[in-house]
Amino acid sequence: MNNIELNNKIDKMNNLVELHLHLDGALSIDNCKKIAKLQNIELPNDNEISKMMIVPYGCNDLNEFLTKFEFPISLLQTKEGIKNAVKNLENELIEQGIIYTEIRFAPQLHMNKGLNQDEVVRSAIEGLNSSKLRSNLILCCMRGNNNKDENMETVRVAKKYLGKGVCAIDLAGAESLYPTAHFKYIFKYAKELGVPYTIHAGEADGPSSVYDAISFGSKRIGHGVKSIEDFNLINLIILKGITLEICPTSNICTSVYNKITDIPIKRFIDKGIKITINTDDPTICNTNLKDELKLVANAFNLTYEDIIKLQLNAINASFASKEVKEEVIKLLIND
């Protein structure tokens, strides 16, 4: 099968799984306009919105990339805004062929107009329940110096709604400025409460970040690409069956790598490491999951069977219920 045939086959896939997707990085321009209208917020024209949301070519690093979240987060400060943003996103994902996803966001960033974290999460769950998509929420704790109380509250709220729309927590933010090692307290508490977790690590920071995430007990690593720089870490990932949530275009946008072929995707596959392919922030990165899969397939000469394996990795590593996993696996195998 040549690249054109493979690309066409990927375009026709209607049973896709995505694990690493940020709500605020996934708000389409259309979604922004809809939720702004609901909240009586005036927006500039589409071109100006694009400039505020889509990262420019030649972005310096993750820290510059993170500034693109300011505008979408400003639209997610009310119950109606959050609920409808989630609902609209899920409907868009259904149109793209997604059948299971985990949408992550940080409740503590959505309190600027008086909501508390519990209200934020309940609003997002209402959005989930307004759509037919199989999905869950991952609540992100944030890297920072003065937000320990907020992070602990995120874990408590995750526990309250675990199995009711929430499936896990995460740690997100400026990894190189706030090392993973500083946030052991989050995952110690999550483990005590029985809350599952994934952790952003090994993206803007090096292998030590991944070592720390694994030492905290994480079975999934958000990005994790810098793991390739440490032979012993690679062996540890294999030994513990860790799954890496790789986001190719995002890694280019944040200047972690200069081009797609620099990302160690094929090296991970050849070593038997379980990886998944994700968009991370599809609007900010101007991409979607099918485009990511085609990009990876063409860059590393993958087969359609390889693509299905990547998707099976995703559902198997997901925080979905056993029943949902079984349903999705059947659909993937028969795709």
Mean pLDDT of 185-204: 97
Mean pLDDT of 16-38: 97
Work out how many domains the chain is built from and give that number: 1
Residue 196 included in any domain: yes
Q: What is each CA distance from 124 to 110, 120, 194, 319, in whole angstroms?
A: 11, 6, 22, 17
Of 18, 92, 203, 292, the catalytic one is 203
Q: What is each CA distance from 108 to 117, 146, 184, 187, 314, in whole angstroms?
A: 6, 12, 19, 17, 27
| Average confidence score pLDDT of the chain | 95
The more confident residue out of 115 and 253 is: 115
Q: What is each CA distance from 278 to 62, 131, 294, 314, in whole angstroms?
A: 17, 21, 12, 9
Residue 14 included in any domain: yes
**Is 90 among the residues known to form the active site?**
no
Residue 154 included in any domain: yes
pTM reported for the whole predicted model: 0.96
Task: Provide the residue type at 32 as one letter.
Answer: C
Mean pLDDT of 40-49: 92
Decide: 197 and 168 in contact? Cβ < 8 Å. yes
State residue 134's pLDDT score.
Answer: 97
pLDDT at 1 over 80: no
State residue 139's pLDDT score.
Answer: 98
Residue 139 included in any domain: yes
CATH number for the domain spanning 221: value is 3.20.20.140
Boundaries of domain holding 49: 3-329
Going by pLDDT thresholds of 50, 70 and 90, the confidence category of residue 159 is: very high
State residue 52's pLDDT score.
Answer: 87
Task: For 51-98, write each residue's pLDDT tens digit.
Answer: 888 887 667 666 777 788 999 999 999 999 999 999 999 999 999 999
State residue 51's pLDDT score.
Answer: 86
Residue 335 included in any domain: no
Task: For 234-281, write each residue's pLDDT tens digit.
Answer: 999 999 999 999 999 999 998 899 999 999 999 999 999 999 999 999
Going by pLDDT thresholds of 50, 70 and 90, the confidence category of residue 231 is: very high
Residue 321 included in any domain: yes
State residue 210's pLDDT score.
Answer: 98
The more confident residue out of 49 and 195 is: 195
State residue 65's pLDDT score.
Answer: 77
Residue 334 included in any domain: no
